[in-house]
Structure 1
Amino acid sequence: MQIHNKKIMTNSNILKTIALLLLIIGGISCKKDSAPESTPDDENLAVLGYSNLRWDGGDNHYWSVYTINSDGSNDIKIIESDIGLKGQEWSPDGTKILVCGMETPTSQSFIYIMNADGSNLQKLSQLTDVVSTRWSPDGTKITFTKFFPEQNYRSEIWIMNADGSNQVSLTEGQGSSFFANGTKLIYTSDKTGNSEIYTCNVDGTNQQKLTTTTGIELNVDISPDGTKLIYTLQTSPTDINTWEIYLKNMDGSNGTKLTNNNYLDEQPRWSPDGTQIAFISSRGSAIQKPEVYIMNADGTNVKKVTNANGRSNSANTPTWKPNL
């Protein structure tokens, strides 16, 4: 999901706006499929990936993929491409990265795959209007969200093999990811009228709702040990700055608010060891665009990682490189 400054009046408008922003924005740069020279990552630092958004103030949005050390050092664009790329996801073995690509800022989004150094970019699927890819723990499957613009941007959870074959629609929803044992998916859906957190088997059966709230729940992620989940909750449908990050047990109990301020906080992702959470936030000033931050799993020790605003850009969709 990407950020916008308009007021959002209803749950359906929220999800439609989310879908539009995820699907209509893309990017253009100059040199295709070549990775810039970089310095080695500090072996004592965690490495994150993020999507850099450059916006011209109109309809054009230009996306590119960066990696950065958790202390903010070694901030590098890993691929120069003729198409806009975003939503980077490392494979479990760290050798490949999934991205969603758009040839123009208004074209359809496809799933691409490339080497971890940014080389050998290839289209993985011919399905259009797809976002939010996630690998299975063993690297053999990929789950993703497909939108249907002609149907009021209705969204579905899909799954396919890692080579792009055997594409199957599972259920209505968005933002799916695998349990640590690979047997189930967690996702959000507004199938009952409000966006709540659900689980299902990897074949779409045994769908169970974990939460029942009056707010809008999105961006759910499971802890590496499978005992906790983090997600974004918007408590006011008319104010995007009420997006906050929450922690719960896997059964939906014991909800804890991890962020609490008057600025947007969203897109939480667990670190591979479960001790930290990466997220984006516009905290700092009323005009700041989102940056990537990290915090401890209990919400303490918040640190800013990126400085995309220094490039007149913003940072989105943080992910973690696997610990190998």
Structure 2
Amino acid sequence: MRTVRFHEHGGPEVLQVDEVPAPEPAEGEILIDVDAIGVTLPVVRLTRGRPGVPLPHIPGGDIVGRVTRIGRGVTGRQVGERVAGLAFSGAYAETVAVPATMMTTVPDEVDDLAALALTRSGQVALGALRAGGFGKGDSVLVTSAAGGVGHLAVQLAVALGAERVTAAVGDTPKAGFAREQGAHHVVTYDQDDWGEPVDVVLDGVGGQVQDAALRSLAPLGRLVTFNAAGGTIDTNELRMRGLSVIGFAMAHLAARRHDTYERHQQELWQLYRDGRLRPAVHEASPLDRAADAHRLIEARANRGKIVLLPR
């Protein structure tokens, strides 16, 4: 089968197309013929090096496809079933073996690209909102609001009853896109004034943007970070203003709170059916253009989801 992997660390240029044997499903796994693959910033950063990742390495990501084989001990899955979910490695390929518990059945009325967005980016957006204690009537700020997660976080905050949603984006051309997602107010990172304080911040950028987002919180506000860039926080500032900072990683929710993860997924499907969620796909490219997809993500040039098509 064809796959994309990297044999050394570096930028997008280290990705190469290789022919490798198709995987076999281990106990608890299912084998999937992949129809679409989601490209994410954490995976893009992985090519530049992370301890404990053996080389060569096939990047992970969100996938959608059909079950072709079922491993020992798997129940509740059928050959031919259409599924979507997470593969922590091996996703950039025509065929992937993944734990059955990381996959969810895709309803017939949800197309492949929407399913791909909702089973990773949608899960992160909804999980981060809930981790931040979001409630109807809260005000919300979303950074990286034009990205794969961010644009859905804006839509979700609106759909779930936010009183005001502010979208923060990297440059003016993205402002129109953010407004199309339902944002009531749009700011760029270089603005001094980000508007009225908010109850909840979802931060997908980190660094200096995270600092500005933290300053945007009202007393007793909550900042949820779901990015991999990090940043330094003055805990005394948290105490003085009664703020909370929460780290969110969907992998932990999926593995340790699977009932919640599945409940969130059903909620996302229903919001899509109701027309209240509209995943945006910036670009869907052939698998052999994975390096170009990574360049788009690194440049933060995308508006919505970046997708690879293995077939």
TM-score by length of structure 2 reads: 0.29
Higher helix share: 2
Structure with bigger RCO (C-alpha 8 Å, 6+ apart): 2
